[in-house]
Amino acid sequence: MKYLTILGDGMADEPIDALGGKTPLMAAHTPMMDTLAARSEIGLAATIPDGMKPGSDTANLAVLGYDPRASYTGRSPLEALSIGVDMKPDDIALRCNLVTLSSEPGLAYSERTILDHSSGEISTGDAAVLLDVLRREFASETYQFYVGTSYRHLLIWAGGEVLDLSQPHDHLGEVIGAYLPEDQMLRHMMERSFELLDNHPINVERAKKGLNKANSAWFWGAGTRPSLAGFTEKTGKRGAMISAVDLLKGIAVGTHMQVMDVPGATGGLHTDYHGKAQAAVQALCEDGNDFVYVHIEAPDEMGHQGSVERKVQAIEYLDDRIIRPIYEALTAQGVEFRMLVMPDHPTPIRVRTHTAAPVPYLLYDSRKALGSFPSYDEATGASSGIFYPEGYRLAAHLFSE
């Protein structure tokens, strides 16, 4: 028996007037998910424990079967594992986003507006050049910068402290003054980064092309060195991770799962879906894994961008370019499998950030019908009467026979 989770990051949403009162998941053309729904169990799961911030870190840990209350030490330490940073016991890891701030002349830094938390999904190559500018200005025995992926990078603060720092995607379109760090050095580095980056040649060229500048650092997600139980030790299953996002790769490293490298995977709307689907089949049928976790970031990014059309498109790509080919390949090879399809958390277009609302899941078993539903979406999940108030327990249900 093989097992897989296909995770549409931020895929859940709320009814939207522009979609006739439907959510993007309800409005999307998803024939594969609808076909599976006719033989699947569908319900709701609460992936964010009460009192914890809704994020992909806590939520994906929960979907993998880890209780976030017991296992979570911060987002950035998980990303540090992916990047290969060996944190010392007194190190603090912080996410260093390259963000887009408004560029009006004469404004104080604190008066600027955050326009984009991802700088238009800047390429890793361009971001690395800009991060090197910050490294040359600020690097010391106390502060070290590391390149991640796209706009997502890392700051290690030796002997630092875990601070409550604002997530940039929570404040899109807002003036940033109220959300800046109280720590004076972190604030200074953010303010100075704008002076260094706003007119950097890369950003001048991006502006000419109509692209968002990557003109400021933004620190958030502070945490200490993580300690996670091994996935095989916990579940008895050998697992693999497929994701373009350092956070998910870091979770895999920390839990001793195989990290499948897909060179064309970007985390954006036009990631290499074909490569990811092929890697999933390879992980299960060639590499000897019992379980594979396929993470697709695009629905979340489109939610943050506030694009209804592109969020619908991301969900349709997930259905047609990930779920369908994996299902067809495993079926053609006669593999018996159980497949869980779900988001980690909602990223509603209305708020352009994460919420803690329960998310719908679909559980399919190739050997037998587990239920019969007309479609897979938020409304169907809510009407099914099946609810996991502790979402991390859903993974054990996936692995049950």
For 282, what's the count of Cα atoms within 13 Å in the CB-facing half-sphere? 13
Helix, strand, coil tally for the chain in percent (to 5): 40, 20, 40
Residue 227 is predicted with a pLDDT of 83
Task: Give, for 216, the enclosing helix (H) or strand (E).
Answer: strand 216-223
Domain chopping of the chain, boundaries:
2-71+228-398, 83-223
Residue 273 is predicted with a pLDDT of 97
CATH number, span 2-71+228-398: 3.40.720.10
Burial class (CB in 10 A: 0-12, 13-18, 19+), 105: exposed
Write the DSSP symbol of residue 256.
T
Find all residues with CB under 8 Å of 366, minimum gap 6, and list them.
330, 331, 335, 336, 337, 338, 339
Which is it for strands 114-116 and 216-223: parallel, antiparallel or unpaired?
unpaired
> CA 262, 265, 270 angle in degrees (round to 5)?
145
* Spatial distance between the Cα atoms of 246 and 174, rounded to a whole number of angstroms: 27
Positions in the chain short of pLDDT 50? none
CA 222 to chain centre: 17
Write the DSSP symbol of residue 222.
E
- Give tens-digit pLDDT for 143-161: 999 999 899 999 999 999 9
Write the DSSP symbol of residue 290.
S
